[in-house]
Amino acid sequence: MTFDEQIDRTDTHSQKWDMMEKIYNVPQGKGLPMWVADMEFRPPACVQNEIQKMADHGIYGYFGDDRAYLQAICWWMKNRHGWDVAPEAIFTTHGLVNGTAMCIDTFTTPDQGVVLMTPAYHGFAKVARASGRRIVECELALVNGRYEFDIAKWDTQMTGTERLMVLCSPHNPGGRVWSKDELQAIADFCVRHDLILVSDEIHHDLVYPGQKHIPMTLAAPGIMDRLVMMTATTKTFNIAGCHSGNVIIPDEALRAKFAARILALGISPNSFGVRMATAAYSPEGAEWVDALMAYLDENRRIFDATIAEIPGLVSMPLEGTYLAWVDFSGTGMSADEMRTRVEHQAGIATNYGATFGAGGEPFMRFNIAMTRAQIMDACARLRSVFADLQ
């Protein structure tokens, strides 16, 4: 298995590569996309073989018989995360933005608020806003260069009309892997304000050596009556295009409500997502993830070392995820100047911090899940366009 192979993704209907010019005006051929959260790597052979098997068979009918799929999920969660999942608690959605939207739709009414801890993955606000819900932005505190919860302040923001909170664990952006105490504090907060907690753990496999992700079910077993867990193979194995996610609901009453909405909206799994996930959640998949994290760890080291050389730039220490979160506030530059240098001069497409909500404004998010040659290229470009600061 090699992560060094550079695979040309132009003209493959890739959002990250083929929309870069249109959205950022960063030219094809010259640009380096570090925005959309997918990786430049092929998934493990077990996933490729499954797709090949489907193509060889050549019949793409309706999916049925999910026993192997449910068993694979239970195996993965037990083996990789020490979490016992009951197969009947698992729903399959069309990804986790869809899962979040389904939870908001099922568990809240339009007059109720949705609580987000910002800066937060922009997909949450996008679906909450589109469904007409009020968003309550609870800003994370920046303490010694990394995010912490600011629960005493958040308590004062609650009005009694909020109904659901989305937790991102590990956190995107910022890469925090929350501790057991922090997770327990969130659970207590949700109990105090009577909130359903949707724990988006899509990045749970992508944690760096020395870090341990704790599933919310294990951190706070006392809140099963208000907890929705969300996981997926898509980030872990770079198969986001198959648009498949797991929404896992331990509580029977919540599960019945969710099942009713799934039924009402006519949602059923797509066979590509389910079969890829079944193949991925395997010992071979696990070995591939271990190798991936070792590779990403070195990318992280290289990228952080470069950012550390540029006065005024600070990269938040990534504990998990491949999404580096760089604070430009020390440069005193406006958002426009940051963009001019990074996009137009360096030719790098990133995600703007402001799109992640309150607190994100002075940041840019860089996706470092690329080949070593690409990350070196990115670092050289950044060093060059900020050379005047050094």
Ligand X SMILES: Cc1ncc(COP(=O)(O)O)c(C=O)c1O
> Site residues (CB under 6 A) for ligand X?
37, 95-98, 121, 123, 168, 172, 200, 202, 232, 234, 240, 245
Q: Are strands 113-118 and 162-168 parallel, antiparallel or unpaired?
A: parallel
Cβ closest to ligand X, residue 95 vs residue 359: 95
Cβ closest to ligand X, residue 268 vs residue 334: 268
Phi-psi region of 331 (alpha: psi -120 to 50; beta: other; left: phi over 0): alpha
DSSP class of residue 340 equals I
Cβ closest to ligand X, residue 122 vs residue 133: 122
Beta strand extents in the chain (DSSP E only):
32-33, 90-93, 113-118, 134-139, 141-143, 146-148, 162-168, 196-200, 227-231, 245-248, 314-315, 323-327, 348-349, 351-352, 363-367
Cβ closest to ligand X, residue 92 vs residue 306: 92
Cβ-based neighbours of 361, under 8 Å, separated by 6 or more: 335, 353, 354
Q: Give the C-alpha separation, 18 to 119, whole Å.
A: 27
Minimum Å gap between C-beta 325 and ligand X is 12
Task: Tell me which residue of 147, 143, 115, 145 sits closest to 128, measured CA to CA.
Answer: 115
Residue nearest to ligand X (CB): 95
**28, HSE (Cβ side, Cα atoms, 13 Å):** 13
Minimum Å gap between C-beta 165 and ligand X is 14
Cβ closest to ligand X, residue 207 vs residue 310: 207
Cβ closest to ligand X, residue 96 vs residue 158: 96
Cβ-based neighbours of 24, under 8 Å, separated by 6 or more: 31, 35, 343, 349
